[in-house]
Chain A
Amino acid sequence: MDFLQDLIATLSFILQGLWVTIGVTLLALTVGLVFGVAMAMLRVYGNRFLRQVATVYSVIVRAVPVIVIIFILYFVIARFVNLSPFLAGSLALGFASGAYQTEIFRGAFQAVPPGQMVAARAIGMSRLQAIQSIILPQAVRLALPAWGNEATLVLKDSTLVFVVGVPEIFRRAQQISARTLEPFMAFGAALLLYLILTMIATQILQWIERRYRLQM
């Protein structure tokens, strides 16, 4: 009976971090999506200079541990711009995820057959119009399976923002574990929540994938 009460108390404490975790994940994914698509477009369709900018971004960011990026944003950049821990952490995660998403979308852009661009130009579309209306919609569909994988990685990486004090699930599990001295229960509850979140995310992504699958 005591155990059950403790578990419920622990869970309800940690659950308050649920929306923070979801918020960090969604914001990071969105930022990463914008960076990823933009940088991938530069890498595939840009001139030599823009291609190099995008390549440098992708290579360097992927070589640096995410936690270092979080620290840089929170302790260096946040001194000049007013950034809350939540924003600093999410943006850092998004910036990091953007580098991986760049690779995902680069592959997807390159997988669209070249004839699609030729046909789009042949009916009078400009290069930009063709990329927007023909190439991008196909590339996004091709990228979906790999992107879904990246989404679950970002969800799990969102734990890292605890280092700057964002009260998400993991941070709260740590707090309650320090108070109750029941680390097994605290982290077990956190684990359960992550498991459920990941499963829901996977289901949603699979549904989207099925819905928009390209027939080749």
Chain B
Amino acid sequence: MTTEPILRIEDLYKSFGETQVLKGFSLTIQPQEVVVLVGPSGSGKSTLLRCINLLHPPTAGRVWLDAQEITAPGVDQDKVRQRIGMVFQDFNLFTHLTALGNVMIGLTKVRKMHKKEAHDLAMLELERVGLVDRADHYPAQLSGGQKQRVAIARALGMDPHIMLFDEPTSALDPELTGEVLEVMQQLAKEGMTMIVVSHEMGFARQVASRVVFMENGVVVEEGPPNQMFTQPKSERTRAFLRKITDLDDGGERQ
């Protein structure tokens, strides 16, 4: 059975001045897939996510979203970004707005909804991440885990076709990562297509349909989590995954 891929990245290059970060990265993602992207720091994971939603214009290569080439000239990039939800490592909630306001502002300003309609939908999204009772709180009054869940609700409000997570739990205390991962797991269950940059190997094992290991701006190896963790083809993949799995277990034992 072949379905139309939701996202196709072909031979993507990205340089910042002299530094080449992505060196011919290719990946195809089917609807409802959850792809966990791992790799050493500096391997280009964050840059890749920011190239996918065009926050960084790729130096070369092409990206298709829903069969539309979004790297083609003349594409309305703001419209493209609406369809791609993004969650950041450091949340980036709008500090002058409440949790509700953070979710609402995209609905009123970008989706041009009326206030009432936007309010109701925003409350629904907050309910999805379990934060209805924090709707009136400002970001400074929320815990890290709550902030990240608001950020997820804010992205979901735009009704994205795919969600990008850039190390969503790295800035969190260990006891707060669980609530964020739970929300993400729920999203995956509901059929959301997701690319997750994360070293949460427990999450990768349970939720990922595919694990992609990248290094130096290219894909080294990819496969189902089981295969990647137990019998990776590349020695480099084995070494890297063993290292972060050990760290992960070490963290859990404490």
Contacts and interface: CB of A to CB of B under 8 A. Distances in A.
Contacts of B155: 122-123
Interface string B147-184: 00001001101100000000000000000000000000
User: What is the predominant secondary structure among interface residues of chain A facing chain B?
Assistant: helix
A126 B109 CA distance: 10
B92 interface: yes
Interface residues of A, number: 21
B140 interface: yes
A36 B232 CA distance: 60
B156 to A, nearest CB: 10
B96 interface: yes
B95 A138 contact: yes
A137 B158 contact: no
Contacts of A138: 94-96
Interface stretch (A2-10, A80-88, A113-121): A113-121
Given A129-B109, A133-B105, A122 B81 contact: yes
Contacts of B203: none
Given A124-B106, A125-B106, A119 B95 contact: no
B95 A118 contact: no
B138 A215 contact: yes
Contacts of A125: 78, 106, 109-110
B81 A123 contact: yes
30 contacts: A115-B92, A116-B94, A116-B95, A119-B86, A119-B88, A119-B92, A119-B151, A120-B94, A121-B81, A122-B84, A122-B85, A122-B88, A123-B106, A123-B110, A123-B158, A124-B78, A124-B79, A124-B158, A126-B78, A129-B110, A133-B109, A134-B94, A134-B105, A138-B94, A138-B95, A141-B96, A214-B95, A215-B139, A215-B141, A216-B95
Interface of A: 113, 115-116, 118-126, 129, 133-134, 137-138, 141, 214-216
Interface of B: 53, 55, 78-79, 81-82, 84-86, 88, 90, 92-96, 105-106, 109-110, 138-141, 151, 154-155, 157-158
